[in-house]
């Protein structure tokens, strides 16, 4: 195999890519996604890429593209140069011990290291991680245009292409309107379609309790993060009063928060995002903790390019159980991509790349096209 893949350079770039339509959530309606791309070059010319996606600054989380960029450039990158990229576990643990928080920045770096390792070994990431249980993941499409008629038309168009799972965003307006919108979707799309609802922390306890019984009539697969992330007591109360499974997303940030959710009985399902959990290996650790406690699994997204989506797909492929599929629709919603060949969608599913590393070749001309000046 030759010389070890010693890291020579680490570069981070901010890239802004518009979306085909606004994505309306309880905290805003972004029209573009702000990415930090990490390019790691190792000895022998091996190049690996990583990615972290954000919306309109520190909105979904405390990190923004700007903070991620400076943390990688000033603090993380200098510690990586001259190190063996195959030793990504010890390297990431060293970064964890040296620098507090900044999970998005660390996840982007780890993603690039894993890409280098896979390319050096000539194996897809899912093979390096022990082998895939599945090479296709069921895809949930998020309806978040901000207009119900548009959402219905969009869902019907997606159904014509094989999609059968949809998630509607809630929490930006009146609770009664949210309830009515889900009921209308159920009537329009039919009883066989899977429906989910995501509030993105948009309700208080009283609003959520008011909504629960009426939401049950529409038979959603789950209700995602109805309360602020800190209110685990409230989530636990809702969970024990609800016939709808509750999913924690923003409440989950690391293994400690996962343990709190488990101990307080605050959720039935966890939503996994590699960036919020600090990377793929830490996400796997949280998954096995939660699975041991009987919680279901779903893979969320931050509207990644094909690069970030590929990392999530490899993660999803090696989970023993993935009860609720994924929402890795980013490349379909973005108006541009940085991949020479994007990830593949087929009949309501998204396919795990089979090339070495992440399996995505980055088109550096596209990176330059969208790179912030």
Q: What is the pLDDT of residues 138-195, one digit of tens each?
A: 999 999 888 899 999 999 999 999 999 999 998 888 899 999 999 999 999 999 999 9
pTM listed for this prediction? 0.95
CA 49 centroid distance within chain: 17
Kindly tell me if the per-residue pLDDT of 359 is higher than 60. Answer: yes
Residue of 167, 169, 273, 276 marked catalytic: 169
Residue appearing with tokens 């399996």: 359
- Answer yes or no: 327 catalytic: yes
Q: What is the pLDDT of residues 150-166, one digit of tens each?
A: 999 999 999 999 999 99
In the prediction, which pLDDT does 1 show? 52
Residue of 51, 154, 224, 327 marked catalytic: 327
Averaged pLDDT for residues 304-315 = 98
Residue appearing with tokens 């992330």: 229
Instruction: Sketch out the chain's domains with CATH numbers.
Output: 7-122+364-370 (3.30.390.10), 127-351 (3.20.20.120)
| Pairwise CA distance, residues 25 & 59, whole Å | 11
In the prediction, which pLDDT does 71 show? 98
Averaged pLDDT for residues 53-74 = 93
In the prediction, which pLDDT does 144 show? 83
- CA triple 115-121-125, angle to 5 deg: 45
- Answer yes or no: 167 catalytic: no
Beta bridge mates, 136: 351
358 in Cβ contact with 49 (< 8 Å): yes
| Pairwise CA distance, residues 373 & 371, whole Å | 6
């Amino acid at each position: 195999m030759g010389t070890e893949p010693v890291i020579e350079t680490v570069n981070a770039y901010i890239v802004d890519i518009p979306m085909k339509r606004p994505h309306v959530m309880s905290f805003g309606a972004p029209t573009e996604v702000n990415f930090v791309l990490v390019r790691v070059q190792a000895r022998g010319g091996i190049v690996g890429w990583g990615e972290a996606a954000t919306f309109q600054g520190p909105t979904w989380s405390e990190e923004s593209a700007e903070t991620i960029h400076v943390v990688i450039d000033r603090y993380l990158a200098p510690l990586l140069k001259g190190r063996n990229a195959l030793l990504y576990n010890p390297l990431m643990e060293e970064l964890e011990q040296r620098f507090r928080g900044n999970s998005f920045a660390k996840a982007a770096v780890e993603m690039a290291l894993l890409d280098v390792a896979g390319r050096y070994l000539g194996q897809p990431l899912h093979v390096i991680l022990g082998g895939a249980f599945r090479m296709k993941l069921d895809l949930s499409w998020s309806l978040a245009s901000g207009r119900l008629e548009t959402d219905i038309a969009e869902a019907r168009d997606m159904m014509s292409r094989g999609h059968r799972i949809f998630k509607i965003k809630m929490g930006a307006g009146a609770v009664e309107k949210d309830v009515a919108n889900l009921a209308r979707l159920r009537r329009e799309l039919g009883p066989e379609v899977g429906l989910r609802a995501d509030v993105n922390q948009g309700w208080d306890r009283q609003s959520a309790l008011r909504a629960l019984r009426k939401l049950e009539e529409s038979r959603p697969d789950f209700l995602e993060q109805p309360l602020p992330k800190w209110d685990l007591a409230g989530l636990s109360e809702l969970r024990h009063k609800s016939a709808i499974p509750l999913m924690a997303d923003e409440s989950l940030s690391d293994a400690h928060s996962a343990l709190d959710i488990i101990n307080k009985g605050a959720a039935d399902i966890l939503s996994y995002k590699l960036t919020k959990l600090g990377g793929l290996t830490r996400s796997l650790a949280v998954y096995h903790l939660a699975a041991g406690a009987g919680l279901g699994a779903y893979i969320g997204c931050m509207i990644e390019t094909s690069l970030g989506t590929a990392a999530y797909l490899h993660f999803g492929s090696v989970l023993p159980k993935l009860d609720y599929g994924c929402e890795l629709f980013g490349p379909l919603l973005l108006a541009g991509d940085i991949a020479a060949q994007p990830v593949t969608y087929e009949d309501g599913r998204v396919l795990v790349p089979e090339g070495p590393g992440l399996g995505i070749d980055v088109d550096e001309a596209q990176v330059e096209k969208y790179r912030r000046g």
